[in-house]
């Protein structure tokens, strides 16, 4: 049942051609929901951020918008530049779907209000997301994308897929933040 709920949240899962990667991505999301305070339905209702008061854009809508932007960026780069750079579209799709996976452990619902969880006070969603994804043996390239959402160092390697997804999510966030504030 929960797997069906995740498929409903993420119809773009079918875009992932590698069946093993698709299944691991699906199962990681099902695990994250099962081990959080949220239901799949909650993710379609809760705001995508606690930083914007009266935010009416849902968490899942924001994530799916960012996924679509990331895939469009990757497709336009491929159209314009051919195989330079090489872009793994399965990693773009799975990475964007899993990008905010750890948010489910970072947040809590207290008296119907979205707040930072006790775990979220100590660990950012990057760490939690990587822990969940690693549990399902997702590829290192996907762990890299989840771990480096907000890279703080310039010496660490950043894959093309990470750069595209990070910019897509940042673009969505900044535009929505400016529009809703």
Would you state the pLDDT for residue 43? 96
Q: Helix or strand or coil: residue 114?
A: strand
Q: Which is nearest to 99 in space by CA: 55, 48, 51?
A: 48
* CA separation for the pair 9, 28 (Å, rounded): 13
Could you tell me the maximum CA-CA distance found in the chain, to the nearest angstrom?
A: 52
Domains assigned to the chain: 2-180 (1.10.3210)
* CA separation for the pair 80, 127 (Å, rounded): 35
> Angle 19-34/2-9 helices, nearest 10 degrees?
110
List the pLDDT tens digit at each of the 181 positions of the chain: 899 999 999 999 999 999 999 999 999 999 999 999 999 999 999 999 888 888 899 999 999 999 999 999 999 999 999 887 889 999 999 999 999 999 999 999 998 889 999 998 888 889 999 999 999 999 999 999 999 876 555 556 788 999 999 889 898 888 888 888 7
Would you state the pLDDT for residue 112? 82
> Angle 140-147/89-98 helices, nearest 10 degrees?
50
Return all residues near 145 (Cβ < 8 A) that are at least 6 apart.
91, 95, 98, 99, 159, 161, 162, 165
Are the C-beta atoms of residues 166 and 61 closer than 8 Å to each other? no
Would you state the pLDDT for residue 85? 81
Q: Helix or strand or coil: residue 115?
A: strand
Q: Which is nearest to 165 in space by CA: 74, 57, 45?
A: 74
């Amino acid at each position: 049942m929960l797997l069906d709920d995740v498929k409903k949240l993420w119809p773009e899962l079918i875009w992932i051609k590698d069946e093993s990667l698709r299944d691991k991505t699906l199962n990681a999301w099902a695990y994250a929901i099962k081990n959080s305070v949220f239901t799949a339905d909650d993710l379609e209702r809760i705001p995508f951020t606690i930083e914007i008061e009266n935010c009416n854009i849902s968490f899942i809508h924001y994530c799916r918008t960012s996924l679509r932007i990331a895939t469009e960026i990757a497709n336009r780069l491929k159209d314009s530049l051919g195989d330079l750079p090489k872009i793994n579209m399965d990693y773009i799709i799975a990475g964007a779907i899993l990008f905010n996976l750890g948010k489910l452990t970072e947040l809590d619902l207290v008296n119907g209000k979205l707040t930072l969880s006790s775990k979220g006070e100590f660990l950012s969603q990057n760490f939690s997301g990587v822990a969940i994804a690693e549990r399902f043996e997702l590829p290192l390239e996907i762990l890299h994308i989840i771990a480096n959402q907000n890279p703080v160092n310039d010496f660490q390697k950043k894959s093309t897929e990470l750069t595209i997804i990070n910019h897509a999510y940042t673009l969505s966030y900044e535009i929505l933040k400016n529009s809703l504030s």
